[in-house]
């Protein structure tokens, strides 16, 4: 039976249904008709409330990571702590990450993915890092962090998934830690062939 309640209730039902479907099926495999059916409403109301499937996706898909545990960690342990946070992530964060990655071909969703990368990984790391090359080091660490999530969640790398979580965090943390100390980018540039 189609929902006939208030527009706020209908909007909330659409929002909730869309979030569930986007997380489980991704952007491209989720249709407006599926969202409407899951919200027990008419597809026209989905568009009326959210204007387009892309805008509904952007409103429902927000990846957040609690960076509080990174604030008090000494710099020499930051890589391992970040790896621990990444390895422990799951649930809705996994669904949102996958939905963003799979929808990344859409310009608006690609922009959200870039914004998420910047605000979730690069900016918090940059704030913690001293030195003139802090931005480069933060971006390198963010790229490594994203690579781990890609390997675990997009590719489903069986070798990594079978590893003990603490060992994975320690070993990947060492990789992350390698790009964090000041001067890392300067040292790499000095080794480059002119």
DSSP for 51-120, written as a single string: SSHHHHHHHH-------HHHHSS-GGGHHHHHHHHHHH--HHHHHHHHHHHHTTTSHHHHHHHHHHHIII
How far is it, in rounded angstroms, from Cα 54 to Cα 154? Answer: 21
What's the confidence (pLDDT) of residue 184? 47
Using a pLDDT cut of 70, give the percent of the chain over it. 86
Whether 191 shows a pLDDT value over 50: the answer reads no
Residue 64 has phi, psi (to 5 degrees) of -130, 145
Element (H, E) at 148: helix 134-149
Per-residue model confidence as pLDDT tens digits over 51-99: 888 888 888 877 777 666 677 788 999 999 999 988 988 777 787 788 7
Residue 35 CB-density burial (10 A; 0-12 exposed, 13-18 middle, 19+ buried):
buried
Q: Is residue 158 packed enough to be buried (19+ CB in 10 Å), middle (13-18) or exposed (0-12)?
A: exposed
Q: Kind and range of the H or E element at 45?
A: helix 43-50
- pLDDT at position 110: 86
Q: Which two tokens stand for residue 143?
A: 């790229």
pLDDT at residue 3 greater than cutoff 80: no
For the chain, the average pLDDT equals: 84
Q: What pLDDT, on a 0 to 100 scale, did the predictor assign at position 183?
A: 67
pLDDT-derived band at 116, boundaries 50, 70, 90: confident
| pTM flag (> 0.75) | no
pLDDT by residue (tens digit) across 151-173? 999 899 999 999 999 999 999 99
* Contact by Cβ (8 Å): 91, 23: no
């Amino acid at each position: 039976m189609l929902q006939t309640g208030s527009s706020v209730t209908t909007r909330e039902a659409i929002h909730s249904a869309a979030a569930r479907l986007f997380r489980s099926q991704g952007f491209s495999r989720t249709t407006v008709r599926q969202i409407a059916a899951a919200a027990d409403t008419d597809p026209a109301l989905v568009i009326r409330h959210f204007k387009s499937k892309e805008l509904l996706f952007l409103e429902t898909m927000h990846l957040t990571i609690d960076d509080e545990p990174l604030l008090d960690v000494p710099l020499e342990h930051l890589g391992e702590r970040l790896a621990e946070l990444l390895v422990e992530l799951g649930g809705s964060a996994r669904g949102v990450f996958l939905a963003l990655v799979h929808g990344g071909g859409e310009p608006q969703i690609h922009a959200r993915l870039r914004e998420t990368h910047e605000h979730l990984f690069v900016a918090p790391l940059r704030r913690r890092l001293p030195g003139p090359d802090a931005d480069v080091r933060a971006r390198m660490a963010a790229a490594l962090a994203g690579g781990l999530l890609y390997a675990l969640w997009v590719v489903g790398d069986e070798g990594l998934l079978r590893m003990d979580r603490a060992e994975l965090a320690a070993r990947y943390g060492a990789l992350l830690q390698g790009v964090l100390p000041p001067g890392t980018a300067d040292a790499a540039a000095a080794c480059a062939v002119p």
